[in-house]
Structure 1
Amino acid sequence: MDWQTLSTDEDIKTFMNNFGYFHDSCLKESHVQTKSFVGENYGMAIDPSTSVRLFFQRQAGPISAIEIIFEEIIHFCISPFPESYCAVILDSTFIKQNGIFYWANCEGFNPEILSLEEGLTWISAKNVKWRDRSNLMGGQLIYGEKN
Structure 2
Amino acid sequence: MLMAEILTRALAQFDEEGQREEGISLATKNALNDLEVYINENLHENILVEDLCRRIGFSKTKLHHLFKGHFGHSIYDHIKIARIRKAKSLLVTSDLAVAEIAVFVGYQSVPHFSNVFKKNVGITPIQFRKGYRRELSF
TM-score class, shorter: under 0.3
| Higher percent of residues as strand | 1
| Higher percent of residues as helix | 2
Q: TM-score if structure 1 supplies the norm length?
A: 0.22
Q: TM-score if structure 2 supplies the norm length?
A: 0.23
Q: Which has the larger radius of gyration?
A: 2
